[in-house]
Amino acid sequence: MDARLDYLSSPTAGKIIKYVMSAGKALKESPLPTTTMELVALRVSQINGCAVCIDMHTKDAAAAGESAVRLSLVAAWREATVFTGPERAALELAEAGTRIADGAGVSDEVWARAAEHYDEEQLTALVITISFMSMVNRLNVITQQPAGSYEPGQFH
């Protein structure tokens, strides 16, 4: 499969992508636990059907020590017993925040469950991670970026 557009080589996109990548690096420096960030990035990417990001975040999480079992169960996290309460709340918020077009939005109950486990700084990072991933997912899905060749740490 070939990409529709090599947006990374465009001078216009190159300037913009530099800022996008800087935002991603700033998120990694946030107080949100890295494991939570990777699980959320993976779940958002699964929902949006972004193979490039699924490839990236699965490999980055595995390289950081995440188990194959937990990575395999992210798509069915509600029925899995391998996630902590805070991770479950983050994944629930990720799903609600990614599926806002479905009309439900993020309910007060979903928000309250996340707020039980994360302080304001962590919630901010969580919300930005969800939004950031949806933006990157859309760039890759629209341009049909092929997946499978990512090496851990390649874009960090």
The pLDDT tens digits of the residues spanning 21-46 come to 788 888 889 999 999 999 999 999 99
CB-based contact 72:42 (threshold 8 Å): no
d(CA 50, CA 57): 11
Residue 71, pLDDT score? 97
Residue 153, pLDDT score? 67
Radius of gyration of the chain (CA): 15
So where are the chain's domains? Answer: 7-142
CATH architecture of 7-142: Up-down Bundle (1.20)
The pLDDT tens digits of the residues spanning 74-83 come to 999 999 999 9
CB-based contact 136:145 (threshold 8 Å): no
